Structure 1
């Protein structure tokens, strides 16, 4: 097991935090008092080395390093009063205690990929708890399990597993720099989802620190909180320290292909057929779809490019036979296929070199941080050719590769068999998840940027004619503040929060509000789209019944 503290220390912090709740909401945020509190109350004399203020020469570099969306790398973006980079659990306990005592909001950051920047941005005075030092990974090949800390990245996890066994992996996303803490706690999907489910579906234990500073595992936190942190973003309820995950079997070698077709090559008809074929393929074959605009090599005019990206956990001859039987229209040939190690498929899927796997997977920040905004949809039924024409025509309105969509098949696998209430992620039984994104460049003017954002909203509106709308689904790992936000100052009602909550969680929203009320009754873990509690403030401050989960 990873880092732990004595029961005596946990009890001491629990008492301090509980009684500090009485005055926490009466005081104005004060970063100087908060800083003094950190130094005074810490039981670890190394805490001064993990504190960064704007007066520190490294403050900006520490802040900016894990901002993965360059749109937030500007002077107008609200900045934290203090950044903490804890190396021990006692640092986190002190941060929670002092944050509550001095009414300074806390934002927890693991990988910095939050689409809205909510892990490092706030409209009220705040500090960042940056978890990048919590990155230990412990692999147990015999039991096919691993403990992984919240600040580790997907790439670090994949490579750590590979070093121990080339026939094991973990069902999660493709981007190697995504932090474990956010990705798993929001759901997490990728190339193994049809066969093994979401990343969150493969979590069997966790260690968290609650609002009282108590360190809890699955047994001590209870099943309600354990359920909530596997799909509703853990930082809404506690600080995620680590997850215990189940590893899954994969072959060492796989076969992949990357095949593009344009409108002149019947892209619309191929995409239409793909919707029916992909869910019926063997679970070991995943075909994703990337859609963008480009220039036709035949006509020299702008066109839509549909790129079919596949991985088959088997040999090339078997793959060709499957494709010939199920999707001959694509015209796949042996020359289109490439055999590789499973671990090499991650850069292959992203169009990157497969040669230096270690560097690709363990580099914690992408060399090029894009400027972008994105949205998502869940598609229940195949879209007609006429509907596809309407949707894809939007791509012709932007320059090549500045507007793209990635469609990932959910149907035809275990996602069809898992109840919507199994975890907070309710979007089971869908045909696919549709990710839509708009990019811009650092030289673009504010009007160009706004035009690109408006383009994405129009695309999203057009897609709305072909997806369920009661409510229209959204994915919390792709946070979208257009869905609605909480009040910056004061309490937010349950019904106001339901505007965004129903999109992310459907009928699971009400249970999540109850869990929030139980484990964080005074709503310290708060952000633009965090759950409100059933009552404004705890009516039993200091009564242990308020903190029954601890």
Structure 2
């Protein structure tokens, strides 16, 4: 008993000592010498003595806070207690990216890579356990559209809105299957998988990547041929930041009709006895209907207008059809008559206008609105994800609605699969969630209140609903979507246990593709320089 107590006391003392040592070490590396050492190294490796100082922001720089906050998209990671980067490097040349990778290793400081900042857990600009530097790629925003070749080269710091706008400038009959949110950075979106309203017709964003350029751990710039097919495979859905710094992607443009159609539909549980029937029927129809139709279903707790001081569920459908309204109505009359939609419930428009509509802009808004990066505008949020492989019964849906109301503010966005998604092998890219999945669930909660108490409250709400959904979702593993980053499903401290830690979340994001990703990682970055709380680990030594 006494001996056990002595051992416990020893471990406590050792823990306190290590924490103090970590604090002292961090204090030491925040000195001005880091800036001077890094600047000298960067100048040496770029031969740009006069210019390179303009791309580095130390904490003492008057513009440091603005540069940092511009691309923070989650206010949870913009507090006084959030660990800040020692330096922010904002390159505009490939040589500067390569030099940053080399110099970060030379001075022994971790590197975080940010394109648009929409990583839901902020790990592109926050490190939870070590001093770090941000390599901010927002200046890498060149877009070159080739309509003859039906392709586009886009740098990773460009936004999806800028990509869509550039395609529209050159062609009115081409588009690209990527995300809805126009301010998302191309780099993180594509390297994590990328999906959008045309995925049932053309697959995911990564299914339409032709080539890429990446800076490896040695600072070399590689294209598809020189990096090899294994690495090219890995950075299309496996998370590029685990393997290097992706500079740009070559994408295959897809044909879009001159006229597309959109509609929105909503039904409220306490005012429409058919609401549950409609949601159940959506599960049957949405993954199996014509590939040209994408119908996303949103479920959200709202205040009841029938029973005061009670809540109910609103179910709303947003849809894009790659064709005219007459064809759409004919299709829905046959496949989904429960909606009872008429032609005047639909709006015909160009593809670029549908992009604006999905972003929440009013019909008639100029495409120039897609160029607004909406800087320094973060709200508080938390996201989680799941996959549904079997229909949830009507009784099950009623139970889910009840639990949503009990849980608070968390909403669900249900995106149907099927179509092209079911035709691509689970091992074709690192993204494995193909055939067998009816739809993906995004759990979503946003709030405005500041402080730890509010954060704890809302995160508890979303975690509770996630737990309630366990009987209905995929199992062994309970799968998750990398672009909906969620540290709840596992983290790595990048120590001697990193492989076992990485396996916990890796199998959820990538299923059996995780093992191939680990082999690629071990081959291209054997010392695990490119790492974060959910990076791909190397094989254990």
Normalization by structure 2: what TM-score? 0.90
What residue number does 1:271 align with?
279
Q: Which residue of 2 aligns with 1:548?
A: none
Q: Residue 94 of structure 2 aligns with which residue?
A: 89
Matches within 5 A, 1:355-370: 355-365=364-374, 368-370=377-379
Structure 1: 5+ residue runs without aligned partners?
1-27, 537-550
Please say if 1:257 is aligned against 2:263. yes
1:325-404 matches, within 5 Å, as 325-365=334-374, 368-397=377-406, 402-404=409-411
Q: CA deviation at 1:259?
A: 0.8
User: Secondary structure, in 3 states, of the residue corresponding to 2:172?
Assistant: coil
CA drift of 1:469 comes to 1.4
Matched, 1:416 2:454: no
1:139-538 alignment runs, 5 A limit: 139-263=145-269, 264-265=271-272, 266-299=274-307, 301-365=310-374, 368-397=377-406, 402-411=409-418, 413-429=419-435, 430-441=437-448, 443-487=449-493, 490-535=495-540
Does the aligned pair in 2 maintain the 1:471–1:503 contact within 8 Å? yes
Cα deviation for residue 49 of structure 1 reads: 0.7
**2:107 is aligned with 1:128:** no
Higher alpha-carbon deviation: 384-393 or 133-142: 384-393
Deviates more, 1:58-67 or 1:295-304: 295-304
From 116, 122, 133, the counterpart of 1:117: 122
Deviation, 1:195, is 0.9
How far 1:492 sits from its partner (Å)?
3.2
Deviation by residue 1:487-509 (Cα, 9 ceiling, x = unmatched):
16x33342221001100011011
Residues 218 and 445 of structure 1, relative CA distance in 2, 3 Å threshold: closer
Q: Give the Å deviation of 1:276.
A: 0.5
User: Which residue of 32, 44, 48 maps to 2:48?
Assistant: 44
**Residues 103-136 of structure 1 deviation map (CA, whole Å, 9 limit, x = unaligned):** 1111010000001101000121110000011000
Q: Distance in 1 between matches of 2:131 and 2:467?
A: 35
For 1:6-21, list aligned pairs within 5 A. none
Q: Deviations over 1:401-454 (max 9, x none)?
A: x4221110012x11111111100001111111110011111x344323212111
| Cα distance change of structure 1 residues 291 and 524 upon mapping to structure 2, 3 Å threshold | same
Aligned residues: 504
Instruction: Look up the SS of the partner of 2:512 in the other structure.
Output: helix
Give the aligned CA root-mean-square deviation in angstroms. Answer: 1.7
Kept after mapping to 1: 8 A contact 2:69/2:376: no
The residue correspondences of 1:535-550 to structure 2 (distance < 5 A) are 535=540
Contact 2:114-2:125 within 8 A present in 1 as well: yes
CA shift in 2, pair 1:297/1:368, >3 Å: farther
Q: For 1:91 and 1:390, how far apart are their aligned partners in 2?
A: 55
197-206 or 326-335: bigger deviation: 326-335
Tell me how far apart the structure 2 counterparts of residues 354 and 63 of structure 1 sit (CA, whole Å): 34
CA distance in 2 between counterparts of 1:303 and 1:172 reads 33
Quick check: 1:31 aligned with 2:37? no
CA distance in 2, matches of 1:383, 1:531: 33
Instruction: Assess if the C-alpha contact under 8 Å between 2:212 and 2:250 holds in 1.
Output: yes
Residue 315 of structure 1, CA deviation? 1.5
| TM-fit CA distance, 1:367 | 7.9
Matched-pair contact (CA < 8 Å) for 2:214–2:221 = yes
Shift of 1:297: 4.3
Q: Distance in 1 between matches of 2:155 and 2:386?
A: 30
Contact kept in structure 2, 1:68 and 1:365, CA below 8 Å? no
Separation in 2, partners of 1:463, 1:161: 40
Q: Is the 8 A contact 2:356 2:365 kept in 1?
A: no
Q: TM-score, normalised by structure 1?
A: 0.89
Any conservation in 2 of the 1:285–1:313 contact (CA below 8 Å)? yes
